[in-house]
Structure formats: C-alpha cells, structure tokens
Structure 1
Amino acid sequence: MSRRSVEVTTDLVLRAYRHGLFPMAEGRAGDKLFWLDPIKRGILPLDEFHLSRRLLRTVLSDLYTVTADRNFAGTIAGCATLVPDRADTWINPQIERLFTALFRMGHAHSVETWQDGTLVGGLYGVALGGAFFGESMFSFARDASKVALVHLVARLRLGDFRLLDTQFVTSHLAQFGAAEIPREVYKQLLADAVDHPAVWLTDPDPDMLAAEFRRLAGRTAD
C-alpha cells in the first residue's frame, strides 16, 4: 500500500512555524521539501544586537537606500542565486512559490538594499505575532545584507517583536550576537512570542529609525 504525501500549503507552513518547524529543499533542483526541528536553534536576541560604529556610519550614509516589502520576489530570487562560494541553495521553486504566497497574505516580509536603483542585497522571513523567522539573505555589494539586517532589527524592536529566529548560527550572524539555544528553550520563547501582538513597520518614521540605529550602536563596544 503506497503512502500518500501531504501537500505543503501556506496554512501548513504557518502551523509548522508556530510549532518550531521550518521547511527546506535538498537543493535548487530538488523537488521535495523536508521539515527541520534542530536540537540547537539559532536566535538573534533583539536586546543584545551588536552594531559596530563602522557599520552604523554605513547605515546612516547615503551609500544605500533601504526599503521593506518593495520587491519580495526579487529578494527571494537574490537569496536563491548561486554565487562562487555557494554551489547550491535550499531555495527551490516550490519554496519561492510558497513564500511569495505568504507575502501576498501579509505573513512574509522582505528588506531590500538598493544602490543606484539596483537591488544589491536583502533578506526575507515570516512574521507570526511577535516572532520573526529569518529565512535567508543575500549580498551583491559590500555590507548590503548587513545593512538590511540592521534595518530589520530596528523595525522589529520598534514594532515590539520579541523573537528573531535565525534557524542556525553562521559566522556572519555570530558577529551580531546570534547564539544557539536548546530546542526546549527555543520553543518556550516561541510560544510566548507568537501570541504577543506586534506590528511590522514597512515605512517607519526615518527619524525613529535613525534613533534606533544609534541606540543599537550605543550598546556595542567596538
């Protein structure tokens, strides 16, 4: 007797996130998704974010223009783009379709970094209550993804989010204060966060954003 596979829908993805699971594909050409529930989970504590003075200067400069939810499709495509130091990606066409549908439903969001009108970096993720699940980021110019991350953290703090889930911890994220916590601890934080009301700020007041950037840098010792 054959086993029927379960269709992966946006509703299923949201229910999975609420319980601590997230989907990935085996590769760009993979046609199946699998669910992860790591023993150690990566988070980036919003009250312990490390923002260096050097990066603060870049964020406050006119080098890049940063937007949110302006080009979700372009952002997820950028994250899926193969580059010399990454031979494959877990973002397959099904992942792109699912998360683009979640974006249209208001559950997924992107932060985009532009230079002279060209999309050069960004990130995307899913928001549920006061939890934001960071999925992926990309950078085609120096510090472009870092600038997007700083903008994300500032928006989450201003919108009263409680949890920024990074899934795993990379050296790129560790420099900002990302850390691994046990699965049981993560799920306690998750349960508290998803039921907490928070607001995703697509276009926050620029002065409020700049003040938040400075607060973040003021907590960091270079």
Structure 2
Amino acid sequence: MSQEIFLLDQSEKFPPPYLAQENPNGLLAVGGDLSQSRLIEAYKNGIFPWYCEGEPILWWSPDPRCVFLLDNIHISRSMKRALKKSTYTVTLNQSFENVIEGCAAPRAKEAETWILPEMKEAYLQLYKSGYAHSVEVWHNDRLAGGLYGVSLGRFFFGESMFSTEPNASKFALIYLSHYLKQQGFLLLDSQVGNPHLYRMGAIDLPRQEFLALIEKHIDWQQPQQVWQPKTLEDWS
C-alpha cells in the first residue's frame, strides 16, 4: 500500500494496483485522460475511473472487489414469480446511448451524477469500437431500465444500471448474467458492493485474487457475434 497518490500525465502508464490507498479504499491515481487506449489499459489491470464534477479524473482499484460469479446469481422466490409473469422484453446492444443517459439521470437519493458528459462520450466511443455494451429492458416499447459496462476476455465490467419501473435493472442483471454464463464468461464485476448487490449474490474477492483471474483470463477470445444486437432469451 502506497502513501502517495500517483499523478498521471497523458502518456504515463498506471502504477500497480496493489499500491492503491487504503483510505479512500482503492484510490490509485489522478489525472491522465479518458482515451480508448487508457480505458482499455485500466480495465485490463483491474482499474476503473470514478469521479464527480469539479474533480480531476480519479482511478480506482478497491480491495476487496465486488463481483458476481455467474454460477452464484441469487434469484429470490418473489423475483422468480416476477420474471415468470413479466411483460418486459430484454435486449442487448440496441440502445446504448439511451441506457447511459438513463444511468446518468438524477436520482432521488443522489445529489449529483458521476457520469459526466466526458464520461458518456468516452464510453460511447468504446461502444462504437465494440468494447462497451448495454442491456435494455423494455415495457410497451418504452425503455424501463438497463445497464452498461465494458467486456474484455471472460469478464463483463459493470459500470452502472438504472430503472424507471419495478425490477427493471434487476431483470437486466439477471438476463445478462444468464447470457454471459451461456457464452463461457467467468464473472461480472460490480466494483464496489452494496446491500442490493449482495442480496442478489455478489461476493467480495480480495484484490489479489481478482487480479490473478484477470491475468489468467483477460486474453480469452470471446465467441464471434456474442455482442451482436439481439433479444435475450428467457433467463431460466
């Protein structure tokens, strides 16, 4: 653990994640940019950007890391009933820009958003390059919720989710997890845990274990056509 926060210029590479701060947990570096190459390098090293308006770009690698192992998604009895009765349609990569706008919209319990215009533009470029992806939940042809993130190797690095109707973001997570498992993926990264994620089966992995998995599986070749826009099949 380092006693200093690393300052990045436009060309510097990230320091090793194990040098991140303990308080605040996982803060590793400040500065740099949100270029595609910088973001891909970050994810390949277990690092992600997270900052608010008025702050410089902050880069994080917390210990432990909150993840979903795809075999361990917990679907409660009430959620199973909701899934069976649902009239939602769940799709993949059919409305990325609208999903990220939904995730960035103000929320009742949050005074500000961390998905700033430059973040939206950076991830839109990742989407256009085939690295970022969205899951959409539709109700009567209206977007009711969804999530987005970055996928490399056997991992989906979740960034944010939203819902405007009951359970819509949970549907997105459940359907995506089922789909990723079918396609041979290993885990869905949720970065930092909260009670909602833990109730759905998320666990905390020591950063060392998380990074070891990345090193082993980040170069796995994803199946062809895996991220082509489509309607996702039944979760069961």
TM range (shorter): 0.7 to 0.9
For 1:45, the equivalent position in structure 2 comes to: 69
For 2:191, the equivalent position in structure 1 comes to: 167
Structure 2 CA distance for partners of 1:56 and 1:170, relative to 1, 3 Å: same
For 1:61, the equivalent position in structure 2 comes to: 85
The answer as to whether partners of 1:159 and 1:201 remain within 8 angstroms in 2 is: no
Structure 2 CA distance for partners of 1:154 and 1:204, relative to 1, 3 Å: farther
Of residues 133, 149, 169 in structure 1, which corresponds to 2:157? 133
Report the TM-score when normalising by structure 1.
0.86
For 2:101, the equivalent position in structure 1 comes to: 77
Of residues 15, 20, 25 in structure 1, which corresponds to 2:46? 20
Matches of 2:111 and 2:139, distance apart in 1: 26
Matches of 2:33 and 2:126, distance apart in 1: 16
Structure 2 CA distance for partners of 1:205 and 1:110, relative to 1, 3 Å: closer
Matches of 1:82 and 1:33, distance apart in 2: 21
Matches of 1:124 and 1:203, distance apart in 2: 14
Matches of 1:4 and 1:134, distance apart in 2: 26
Aligned length: 206
Q: Secondary structure of the residue that 1:74 maps to in structure 2?
A: helix
Using the TM superposition, give the Cα deviation of residue 38 of structure 1 relative to its aligned residue in structure 2, in angstroms.
0.7
For 1:158, the equivalent position in structure 2 comes to: 182
The answer as to whether partners of 1:71 and 1:110 remain within 8 angstroms in 2 is: yes
Using the TM superposition, give the Cα deviation of residue 52 of structure 1 relative to its aligned residue in structure 2, in angstroms.
2.1
Amino acid in structure 1 at the alignment position of 2:184 = D
For 2:110, the equivalent position in structure 1 comes to: 86
Matches of 2:56 and 2:122, distance apart in 1: 13
Amino acid in structure 2 at the alignment position of 1:157 = K
The answer as to whether partners of 1:30 and 1:92 remain within 8 angstroms in 2 is: no
Matches of 1:7 and 1:83, distance apart in 2: 27
Matches of 1:4 and 1:14, distance apart in 2: 17
Q: Secondary structure of the residue that 2:160 maps to in structure 1?
A: strand
Amino acid in structure 1 at the alignment position of 2:33 = E
Q: Secondary structure of the residue that 1:44 maps to in structure 2?
A: strand
For 1:217, the equivalent position in structure 2 comes to: none
Using the TM superposition, give the Cα deviation of residue 193 of structure 1 relative to its aligned residue in structure 2, in angstroms.
2.4
The answer as to 2:25 corresponding to 1:8 is no
Matches of 1:31 and 1:98, distance apart in 2: 17
* CA RMSD, Structure 1 to Structure 2 (Å): 1.9
Give unpaired runs (5+ residues) of structure 2: 1-7, 11-31
Higher relative contact order (CA 8 A, sep 6+): 1
Identical-residue share of aligned pairs (%): 36
Using the TM superposition, give the Cα deviation of residue 100 of structure 1 relative to its aligned residue in structure 2, in angstroms.
0.5
Q: Secondary structure of the residue that 1:109 maps to in structure 2?
A: strand
Matches of 1:157 and 1:203, distance apart in 2: 18
Report the TM-score when normalising by structure 2.
0.81
Structure 2 CA distance for partners of 1:135 and 1:165, relative to 1, 3 Å: same
For 1:196, the equivalent position in structure 2 comes to: 220
